[in-house]
């Protein structure tokens, strides 16, 4: 069952898409509100935080490259501690998927599909996500491979198309105004998103050429950070920091400012459609990881049958998550990032305990 099906190239392409899609559409508004001109700096710092977290996970995974963390974790710390921690990680991932789905549905309802009830949109999203997750680990990475170039071109072309609106003198502000203090809130939020790459730990046995994982991590994190900055800088330059801070979805607004030829003017539905496919790939991966972990904990042989029920559960919880935007924001700002950080750093705890245990064993063996 555990054949090495995921290549490094696929991982690189997949995780780039994984990180970029959420940040570009949802987080840029918040990032600009918190940091203004220091946002690119914050992105870089957040990327570094993400790399550090992922490196810890990879180093821990390397100790047992062919077993699943969900299984051997029970040996490192006792079962009584392991299962609650796993449950916490699973719930955090649930929350991530639910938050992303809620934001997707909010975006679509607000701009494009006013009047449609939210449950039907979520139902369709959930159907797509679970359909892909059921096909197994291969499908997500293959899908990312196929979509990669198209997604990158779509993301890169937006700054290019708005270049006529850019006022370049504003770029000076990145050198004069940016400061680490202002950048820190952004770095904190984005660090948790860049750190989602630590999900590599849970699928480590599926990865081939595992020794290159670190290099791949650096490459995709840097590429993702570069793409995000390539979007942040044009947004700031086109809209100016004061206006950009005031908008909820600055990305959509600059897409609407595209002026090149009057027949390309309202490209945003098409860009949203392409972006939606990428974020479905991301959400189906997280869903797959959740069902994988849950099936291993429950000692089931296959994770496939669990996917539809888990997806249904997530959708229902998304509907009940927040009744309005205000509620959502108060929930989001109330520490979701911290929660995600904790779930990403839990393997670090295991790592430390594992190292200590090994040392103790070695000492015992030497004394014998």
Could you tell me the smallest distance in angstroms from the CB atom of residue 14 to another protein? Answer: 12
Which CB atom, from 75 or from 167, has the smaller least distance to another protein?
167
| Residue numbers 139-168 binding another protein by CB under 8 A | 139, 142-143, 145-147, 167
Using rule CB under 8 A, residue 276 touches another protein: yes
| Residue numbers 59-118 binding another protein by CB under 8 A | 108, 110-117
Which CB atom, from 117 or from 335, has the smaller least distance to another protein?
117
Stretch that binds another protein, among 49-57, 73-81, 249-257, 357-365 (CB under 8 A): 249-257
Stretch that binds another protein, among 45-53, 173-181, 199-207, 222-230 (CB under 8 A): 173-181
The number of residues that bind another protein (CB under 8 A) is 59
Which CB atom, from 59 or from 274, has the smaller least distance to another protein?
274
Which CB atom, from 85 or from 108, has the smaller least distance to another protein?
108
Could you tell me the smallest distance in angstroms from the CB atom of residue 74 to another protein? Answer: 32
Could you tell me the smallest distance in angstroms from the CB atom of residue 247 to another protein? Answer: 8
d(CA 343, CA 157) in angstroms, rounded, equals 35
Could you tell me the smallest distance in angstroms from the CB atom of residue 233 to another protein? Answer: 13
Where does residue 37 rank: exposed (0-12), middle (13-18), buried (19+ CB within 10 A)? Answer: buried
Q: Can you give the chain as a three-state secondary structure string?
A: CCCCCECHHHHHHHHHHHHHHHHHHHHHHHHHHHHHHHHHHHHHHHHHHHHHHHHHHHHHHHHCCCCCHHHHHHHHCCHHHHHHHHHHHHHHHHHHHHHHHHHHHHHHHHHCCCCCCHHHHHHHHHHHHHHHHHCCHHHHHHHHHHHHHHHHHHHHHHHHHCHHHCCHHHHHHHHHCCCHHHHHHHHHHHHHHHHHHHHHHHHHHHECCHHHHHHHHHHHHHHHHHHHHHHHHHHHHHHHHHHHHHCCCHHHHHHHCCCCCHHHCCCHHHHHHHHHHHHHHHHHHHHHHHHHHHHHHCCCCCCHHHHHHHHHHHHHHHHCCCCCHHHHHHHHHCCHHHHHHHHHHHHHHHHHHHHHHHHHHHHHHHHC
Could you tell me the smallest distance in angstroms from the CB atom of residue 145 to another protein? Answer: 5
Residues in contact with another protein, shown as a per-residue x/- string from 207 to 246 under the rule CB under 8 A? --------------------------------xx-xx--x
| Residue numbers 117-136 binding another protein by CB under 8 A | 117, 120-121, 123-125, 127-128, 131-132, 135
Which CB atom, from 225 or from 255, has the smaller least distance to another protein?
255
Using rule CB under 8 A, residue 324 touches another protein: no
Residues that bind another protein (CB under 8 A): 9-10, 108, 110-117, 120-121, 123-125, 127-128, 131-132, 135, 138-139, 142-143, 145-147, 167, 169-173, 176-177, 239-240, 242-243, 246-247, 253, 256-257, 259, 262-263, 265-267, 269-270, 272-274, 276-277, 280
């Amino acid at each position: 069952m555990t054949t090495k099906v995921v290549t490094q190239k696929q991982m690189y392409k997949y995780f780039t898409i994984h990180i970029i899609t959420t940040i570009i559409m949802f987080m840029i508004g918040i990032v600009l509100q918190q940091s203004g001109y220091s946002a690119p700096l914050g992105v870089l710092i957040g990327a570094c935080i993400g790399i550090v977290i992922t490196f810890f996970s990879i180093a821990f995974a390397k100790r047992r490259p062919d077993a699943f963390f969900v299984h051997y974790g029970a040996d490192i710390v006792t079962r009584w501690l392991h299962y609650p921690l796993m449950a916490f990680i699973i719930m955090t991932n649930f929350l991530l998927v639910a938050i992303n789905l809620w934001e997707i549905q909010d975006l679509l309802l607000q701009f494009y599909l006013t009047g449609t009830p939210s449950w039907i949109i979520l139902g369709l999203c959930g159907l797509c996500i679970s359909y892909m997750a059921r096909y197994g680990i291969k499908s997500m990475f293959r899908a990312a491979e196929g979509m990669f170039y198209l997604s990158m071109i779509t993301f890169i072309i937006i700054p290019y198309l708005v270049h006529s609106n850019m006022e370049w003198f504003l770029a000076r502000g990145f050198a004069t105004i940016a400061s680490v203090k202002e950048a820190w809130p952004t770095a904190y939020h984005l660090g948790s998103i860049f750190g989602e790459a630590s999900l590599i730990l849970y699928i480590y046995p599926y990865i081939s050429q595992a020794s290159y994982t670190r290099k791949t991590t650096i490459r995709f994190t840097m590429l993702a950070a570069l793409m995000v900055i390539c979007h942040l800088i044009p947004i700031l330059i086109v809209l100016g920091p004061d206006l950009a801070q005031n908008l909820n979805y600055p990305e959509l607004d600059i897409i609407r400012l595209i002026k090149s030829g009057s027949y390309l003017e309202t490209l945003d539905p098409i860009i949203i459609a392409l972006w939606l496919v990428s974020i479905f790939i991301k959400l189906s991966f997280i869903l797959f990881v959740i069902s994988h972990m849950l099936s291993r904990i429950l000692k089931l042989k296959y994770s496939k049958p669990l996917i539809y029920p888990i997806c249904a559960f997530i959708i229902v919880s998304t509907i009940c998550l927040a009744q309005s935007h205000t509620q959502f924001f108060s929930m989001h700002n109330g520490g979701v990032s911290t929660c995600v950080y904790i779930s990403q750093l839990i393997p670090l705890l295991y790592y430390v305990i594992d190292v200590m245990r090994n040392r103790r064993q070695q000492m015992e063996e030497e004394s014998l």
